[in-house]
């Protein structure tokens, strides 16, 4: 190990030489290589993590460059998969770190395999379904994970230690998570940086095994509105929780609770059906889309709008048709982008 490279980090007494050695021997899994994923990955690689596995299903677009710090214009021109572009840049930053990249839309089976043997999972996803799968994988394999999300000027972060803290399922009815996305409400880069700072600080605590310093608070903020909230949630851990309680069933790992996709025969379309049927507010969604410049057509049963050459139709039960493609990954990306 290059002593000079990490000298300032070693001088920080909560880390020191012993902590630096621990960091070098740890493996972190980052799910998502967007704004949060690239921010987390760069900090950990610069900190000297031993191995980093980064997973993402998408490719680099021009709209990513405003906040996704590992990418450049050539990546966007080449439509390079984010996982590959991130790996290339991270290896330039620190050649001593082992980087593993997967172009993948993770589902339970894939995530269970990827998580085997890792010391920490970092949430940098763009949809709530994947977060719930991640939560159940974390509990099943007893791996700590860091929840993080941001949209507009708002961000939220929480550290989840299996067997110690409440899990994300415990918090569902107590902590407002939100359903907006960057593509419907926009985002400013400082909100990303703020969440990354919370996530990576907690990551370093876990990697050096300083568990006494772990935060037991859900931290949220709105930088534009000058708001900051810190909630102690230790008493929200529930014995009856299906993910981390006494009688666990890991509901998000079951097939019947996953989003279903199907390519419609002869129609050049993909149907996406949410795990549970629920009524959506078509009027509110259409107004949000119109505020973003989309031309929305609607009737009492559905709304439709264009995304580039594709037509998106959303029904009142949450089901959607993405017309103009047979690529399930692309269709799911659009669904999560606009409907959270």
Residues labelled as active-site residues: 182
Would you call 302 helix, strand, or coil by DSSP? strand
CA atoms within 13 A on the CB side of 235: 2
Q: Which of 147, 150, 171 is nearest to 159 (CA)?
A: 147
CB neighbours of residue 31 within 10 Å: 27
Give 35: exposed, middle or buried? Use CB within 10 Å, 0-12, 13-18, 19+.
Answer: buried
Say if strands 269-273 and 260-264 run parallel, antiparallel, or are unpaired: antiparallel
The closest alpha carbon to 210, from 138, 161, 141, 142, belongs to 161
Question: CA 285, CA 269: separation in Å to the nearest integer?
Answer: 22
Is 314 within 8 Å of 271 (Cβ atoms)?
Answer: no
C-alpha angle with apex 217: 211 to 223, nearest 5 degrees? 125
What residue has token string 């009688």? 247
Whole-angstrom distance, CA of residue 132 vs CA of residue 283: 27
Distance from C-alpha of 291 to C-alpha of 273, rounded to nearest angstrom: 26
Residue 145, H or E segment: strand 145-151
């Amino acid at each position: 190990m290059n002593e000079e490279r990490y000298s300032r980090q070693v001088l920080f007494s909560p880390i020191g030489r012993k902590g630096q050695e621990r960091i070098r021997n740890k493996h972190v899994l980052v799910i998502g290589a967007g704004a949060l994923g690239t921010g987390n990955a760069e900090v950990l690689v610069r900190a000297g993590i031993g191995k980093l596995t980064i997973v993402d299903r998408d490719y680099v677009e021009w709209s990513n460059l405003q906040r996704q710090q590992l990418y450049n214009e050539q990546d966007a021109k080449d439509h390079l998969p984010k996982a590959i572009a991130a790996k290339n840049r991270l290896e330039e930053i620190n050649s001593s770190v082992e980087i593993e990249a997967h172009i993948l839309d993770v589902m339970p089976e894939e995530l269970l395999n990827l998580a085997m043997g890792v010391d920490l999972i970092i949430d940098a996803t763009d949809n709530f379904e994947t977060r719930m799968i991640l939560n159940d994988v974390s509990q099943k394999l007893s791996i700590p994970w860091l929840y993080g999300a941001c949209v507009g000027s708002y961000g939220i972060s929480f550290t989840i230690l299996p067997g110690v803290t409440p899990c994300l399922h415990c918090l569902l009815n107590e902590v407002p998570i939100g359903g907006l996305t960057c593509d419907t409400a926009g985002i400013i880069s400082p909100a990303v940086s703020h969440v990354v700072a919370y996530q990576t600080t907690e990551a370093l605590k876990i990697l050096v095994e300083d568990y006494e310093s772990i935060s037991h608070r859900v931290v949220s903020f709105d930088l534009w509105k000058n708001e900051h909230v810190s909630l102690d949630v230790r008493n929200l851990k529930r014995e009856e929780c299906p993910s981390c309680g006494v009688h666990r069933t890991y509901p998000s790992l079951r097939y019947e609770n996953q989003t279903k996709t199907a390519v419609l025969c002869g129609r050049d379309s993909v149907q996406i059906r949410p795990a549970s049927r629920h009524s959506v507010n078509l009027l509110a969604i259409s107004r949000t889309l119109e505020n973003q410049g989309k031309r929305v057509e609607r009737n009492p049963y559905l709304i439709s709008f264009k995304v580039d050459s594709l037509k998106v139709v959303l029904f009142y039960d949450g089901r959607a048709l993405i017309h103009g493609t047979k690529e399930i990954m692309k269709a799911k990306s659009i669904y999560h982008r606009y409907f959270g």
